[in-house]
Amino acid sequence: MNFHGGYVHNYSQKLLDYSSNINPLGVPDSFKDALLSNIEEFTKYPDINYIKLRKAIGRYLAVEDISFIVPGNGAIELLYKAIQQSGKSRLISLKPTFSEYSRAALQCGIEYRALDAFDSEYQDVNIEIILESASNDSVVIICNPNNPTGTLINKKKLLQLAEGLKKKGAMLIIDEAFMEFTPDYPKNSMLDQLDKFDNVLIVKAATKFFGMPGIRLGYAISNNLKLINKIRESIEPWNVNTSAVIAGCSMLEDSHYILNSRVWITTERDNMFNELDNIKGIRVYPSAANFHLIKLLKENFDAWQLKEKLLEKNILIRTPEGFEGLDGSYVRLAVKQRESNRILIEELNNILNNKV
């Protein structure tokens, strides 16, 4: 079963959606303009090789050789295809993390194991636990920063992990869906280290940072051309539609939107953390992404009860279904604009501290 946020279509009322981790700045104007200017492109098939799109992705990532880039119908498609084409029989990840990893293993008919390698504050990961569990039949998948904890694994540890897995003959997939939201991006990304590792694949989501999940655009990058070609050949033709091509070729070069988004997340993530940290009855974990994980400390009151209370106030939150290792006391909250965050904070305080 799929467990995700963003199920606003299940409700009749207009909601403040804190269940879905999307840039609240919304659709870039550059895409709106490009869509109108290129409307005739819908009268023909997209380029089956996506040369223009791959070149735009290459410029955005500072990757010169576009043969090492494969676009997908969202990052999800590429994650599934990469695991399927890895040739490995075991998938290893962490807990808690994104539920689609275990689902991909199930669909590919391979063993899945989620390791308890985070520290108690979800601020660090024990790399040795991962390395001890891996062998030459393994794919290790790491979400960095991790969903739902917001944990950012530093590059030094990722290099240690990549090197250790390479020696074992194991593969490493790094899901960087939320990497653009992190402080000091792109320093935290492993993109500039790919030339050292033929066992590493990075998968990125183009539309979380650019506020358009409905476009469905992701891309995978590796210097392992054999793996990239296997992924590309396993994908159905024209998997990326024309609107996603137009989006990628416009928004990835929208420096104004990119700068504004980074200023927004830097300010609002810290502000929201501080506001949440002042509410009695919860524990909030520091995050490097555009969401916060919180733990409810109130007895006999769980995430689903909080969800129902907040729905009465037209606010939707993400409960812990699908995140292995999280019990009913955990909730994930997206970071949104200041005005919306104030509404959420006020309602949380009222509910948790019996002010209503």
List, for residues 291-328, the tens digit of each pLDDT value: 999 999 999 999 999 999 999 999 999 999 989 899 99
List, for residues 222-234, the tens digit of each pLDDT value: 999 999 999 999 9
List, for residues 44-94, the tens digit of each pLDDT value: 999 999 999 999 999 999 999 999 999 999 999 999 999 999 999 999 999
pTM: 0.96
Q: What is the Cβ-side half-sphere exposure of residue 68, based on CA atoms within 13 angstroms?
A: 19
Q: Is 2's pLDDT higher than 70?
A: no
Q: Running DSSP on this structure, what letter comes out for residue 67?
A: G
Delimiting residues of CATH 3.40.640.10 domain(s) in the chain: 40-253
Work out whether strand 218-221 and strand 69-72 pair parallel, antiparallel, or are unpaired: antiparallel
Between CA 71 and CA 79 the distance in angstroms is 11
Phi, psi dihedrals of residue 341, rounded to the nearest 5°:
-60, -35
Q: Name the CATH architecture for the domain at 8-26+256-352.
A: Alpha-Beta Complex (3.90)
Delimiting residues of CATH 3.90.1150.10 domain(s) in the chain: 8-26+256-352
The closest alpha carbon to 212, from 71, 74, 11, 22, belongs to 22
Q: What is the Cβ-side half-sphere exposure of residue 311, based on CA atoms within 13 angstroms?
A: 15
List, for residues 243-299, the tens digit of each pLDDT value: 999 999 999 999 999 999 999 999 999 999 999 999 999 999 999 999 999 999 999
Q: Is 1's pLDDT higher than 60?
A: no
- Mean of all residue pLDDT scores within the chain: 95
What letter represents residue 261's amino acid?
S
- Are 112 and 106 a contacting pair, CB within 8 Å? yes
CATH of domain 40-253: 3.40.640.10
